[in-house]
Amino acid sequence: MTVQTFYRFISLNIWGNLPSNFQRSISKAYANIYNKSFSKYVIKPYCKLNYKDPDYLTQFTSATGNEGYSSFQDFFTRVYKTPPKVLSEFIWPCEGLLCDYGKVSELPEINVKGDKKNVRAIFGALGSSIPDDYYFSNVFLHNNNYHRIHAPTNGIIKSIEHISGDLVMLRPWLYKNDPSLPAMRNERVNLTIEDVNGKLWYLSIVGGPAVGTIVLNEAVKLNAHINVVDEIGLFLLGSTCCIAAPYPTVCEVGETVYVGNTYCSSQLQEAF
């Protein structure tokens, strides 16, 4: 048994079979460690280990508005001092690894607890309305990524849905043949945004182990207008963001995407 197979078995067959409420209780207790003041001493060595830029932290500030960070959780939910630069009309809403991508109708079905499902299942009740020619993306946010989700376009919020679920591990390398499997099982918040062209963008904000809460911005409400790069919500540790969009992306699987970077070029937009 490979290391990957072993951890997948632990995640799905042992941890994944525990009652969801029990998973959340354990995750909450684990996450509380990062709220303790002593955890702030991990931040500097963590940054040295994970970021090549020695000035990485200077572009962010504490979510609490205090000078410095009071805990690792405070650092984890950091905010940009200056909003991310918008490079296109349609942008990536988050920072992370693009680990799965393709046309909604062409992606293989995934076995979820004995049932084979299309990626539409990730988006819950909203999924059945996703057209076959839409493009699906799965972005994995590693612990060292920025963990706030932003609007990929200007538009109107047309629907919001919370789906209770499990909190199995999200690491895409554990699910080489079906990287979107955890997004079908885990707790998530789904919403749609109607863009200026009248087309819907589907977003699924997916939680994982040690995620205490998925927190939506107070301004995110049904029929509210939202501007590109406006904040939608944040994660408290670990996460994935799935997108079903009307346009193809210029990025490729295995590439790191960043908030504000171009999702779709103007030439591709015109073609659709």
Please compute the mean of the pLDDT values over residues 47-52 and round it to a whole number.
90
- Residue 268: its pLDDT value, please? 57
- Residue 226's pLDDT is 96
Look at 8 and 259; give whichever has higher pLDDT. Answer: 259
pLDDT value at position 256?
95
Closest to 125 (Cα-Cα) out of 195, 191, 186: 191
Does 28 score more than 70 pLDDT?
Answer: yes
| pLDDT class of 171 with cuts at 50, 70, 90 | confident
Answer yes or no: is pLDDT of 47 > 70: yes
40 neighbors 64 (Cβ within 8 angstroms): no
**pLDDT for position 261:** 93
Q: What is the mean pLDDT of the chain?
A: 88
- Asked if residues 112 and 181 have their Cβ atoms less than 8 Å apart, the reply is yes
Confidence of residue 140 (pLDDT cuts 50, 70, 90): very high
pLDDT in tens, 215-272: 888 999 999 999 999 999 887 666 899 999 999 998 999 999 999 999 986 555 555 5
- Token code pair at residue 106: 């062409």
Please, are residues 70 and 63 in contact by the beta-carbon 8 Å criterion?
no
pLDDT at 193: 97
Identify the pLDDT of residue 3.
78
What number of other Cβ atoms are within 10 A of residue 133's Cβ?
12
User: How confident is residue 9, by pLDDT bands cut at 50, 70 and 90?
Assistant: confident
More confident residue, 64 or 223: 223
More confident residue, 192 or 113: 192
Q: What is the 3-state secondary structure (H, E, C) of the chain?
A: CCHHHHHHHHHHHHHHHCCHHHHHHHHHHHHHHHHCHHHHHHHHHHHHHHCCCCCHHHHEECCCCCCCCCCHHHHHCCEECCCCCCCCCCECCCCEEEEEEEECCCCCCEEECCEEECHHHHHHHHHHHCCCCCEEEEEEECCCCCCEEECCCCEEEEEEEEECCECCCCCHHHCCCCCCHHHHHECEEEEEEEECCCCEEEEEEECCCCCCCEEECCCCCCCCEECCCCEEEEECCCEEEEEEECCCCCCCCCCEECCCCECCCHHHHHHC
Q: What predicted TM-score, i.e. pTM, was given to this entire model? A: 0.91
Cα-based torsion angle of the residue sequence 220, 222, 223, 229 in order, rounded to the nearest 10 degrees:
20
Q: What's the pLDDT score for residue 266?
A: 58
Question: Residue range 173-199: average pLDDT?
Answer: 90
Per-residue pLDDT at 121 exceeds 90: yes
Q: Which of 1-5, 87-91, 196-200 has the highest mean pLDDT?
A: 196-200
pLDDT of residue 122: 95
Amino acid 189: pLDDT = 92
Average pLDDT over residues 186-192: 92
The whole-number pLDDT of residue 267 equals 55
Q: Quick one: tokens of 120?
A: 């539409």
Supply the pLDDT for residue 227.
95
Which pLDDT score is estimated for 139? 95
